[in-house]
Amino acid sequence: MQRVCFLLRVRADRIDEYRVRHEDVWQEMREALTAAGWHNYSLFLREDGLLVGYLETEDFEAARAAMDATDVNARWQADMAGFFEELDGQGPDAAMVPLTEVFHLA
């Protein structure tokens, strides 16, 4: 199983709304993530807007491609794009660049 961790930055003026939006993630989005192979997916948000994402999957690129093929992902990403800084014209999901794992205690 591949462990993936990534960072994004939520705009300071949208942090509270971002939290509220994630209290009730669309059921069809949750189902699509599961079907695409996203397991143990978690988001952690620091007070300054630093967002840390973590997931486990067999193949991150395949899991991301499976989500890219869904209509619900396109709608969710379009709805959420305004929450983030420094996307450089990408959607939030495309801006997820995995960090290099340097240690894991199994």
Give the catalytic positions in this structure. Answer: 22
Q: What is the 3-state secondary structure (H, E, C) of the chain?
A: CEEEEEEEEECHHHHHHHHHHHHHCCHHHHHHHHHCCCEEEEEEECCCCEEEEEEEECCHHHHHHHHHCCHHHHHHHHHHHHHECCCCCCCCCCCCCCCCCCCCCC
